[in-house]
Amino acid sequence: MSGRLFVIGTGPGNPEQMTPEALAAVETATEFFGYGPYLDRLTLRTDQTRHASDNREELDRAGAALTLATRGANVCIVSGGDPGVFAMAAAVCEAIDKGPAGWRGVDLTVLPGITAMLAVAARVGAPLGHDFCAISLSDNLKPWTVIENRLALAAQAGFVIALYNPISKARPWQLGTAFELLRQHLPATTPVIFGRAAGRPDERITVQPLEKADAAIADMATCVIIGSPETRVISREGQPDLIYTPRSMAGETK
């Protein structure tokens, strides 16, 4: 008899930003799979077991969780943010697609969470108020040339761009290179928002113009949002600047 498999997101890290649906799934499950720091965000009972693994072992993690679910266990795979945004939901679907036929019969529930770009955007106003896109700068699963092309086209199309996985010890140069590319297509004054650990005690929000954007500010806990040519900064005396992208834009209407 098949058990259940929940795929949840813990949100950006603030416990208050974890959804009631995800909390209910945590109460139901007995086996928990995920990257160690994400599992650390949960308070588990003595009858609940955690299975921590490295952040690059997504398919193995998904396979192990699916195997337990097919044996009748109630299993929870834990991601940070939203599990469907550069996270475990896609890995689970890929494992089911390529794995044993029995995995297709698992009762699977993917629960949405608050992803990093939404938490960072809320801290500064509404930079995602018009069309936007999200791009991962990690070239572990796709060529860097593809990333460069997408960045250029997104900037030319006028999208606000949220960058995930902007920099790491193994990839120290990508974010700086991305800024250099974007400077060819966007105004020098375009606001760049560095949102590190949004909503957590060690939160740090920094805003710089694209011409001076310093990649060294970012780490893997940072989501970077680059405005569009329409994005505006409102200066407020005694208060942080507000950054927003207007809901309408100049141009022909039909």
Give the Cα separation of 35 and 230 in Å (integer).
38
**pTM score of the predicted model:** 0.93
Rounded average pLDDT over 229-248: 95
Query: How sure is the predictor about 194, in pLDDT bands with cuts at 50, 70 and 90?
Result: very high
Give the Cα separation of 85 and 62 in Å (integer).
16
Token code pair at residue 167: 């920099």
Topology of domain 4-110 in CATH is Cobalt-precorrin-4 Transmethylase; domain 1 (3.40.1010)
Rounded average pLDDT over 63-74: 97
Q: Return the residue matching tokens 């208060």.
A: 239
Quote the Cα angle for 81-169-11, to 5°: 5
CA 123 to chain centre: 16
Domain ranges of the chain: 4-110, 116-244
CB 79 within 8 A of CB 10: yes
Token code pair at residue 172: 């120290």
Q: Between helices 174-182 and 144-157, what is the axis angle to 10°?
A: 30
State the DSSP code for 140: S
Rounded average pLDDT over 161-171: 91
Token code pair at residue 152: 């250029």
Token code pair at residue 94: 């890929």
CB 205 within 8 A of CB 195: yes
Rounded average pLDDT over 139-159: 96
Distances (CA, A) of 75 to 2, 50, 69, 109, 226: 11, 10, 6, 10, 37
Q: Which helix (H) or strand (E) holds 62?
A: helix 58-70
Average pLDDT of the chain is 94
In CATH, what is the architecture of 116-244? 2-Layer Sandwich (3.30)
- The two beta strands, 204-209 and 191-196, are antiparallel
Alpha-carbon dihedral sign for residues 134, 138, 142, 148: positive
Helix (H, G, I), strand (E, B) or coil at 95: helix
For the stretch 11-57, pLDDT in tens is: 998 899 999 999 999 999 999 999 999 999 999 999 999 999 987 78
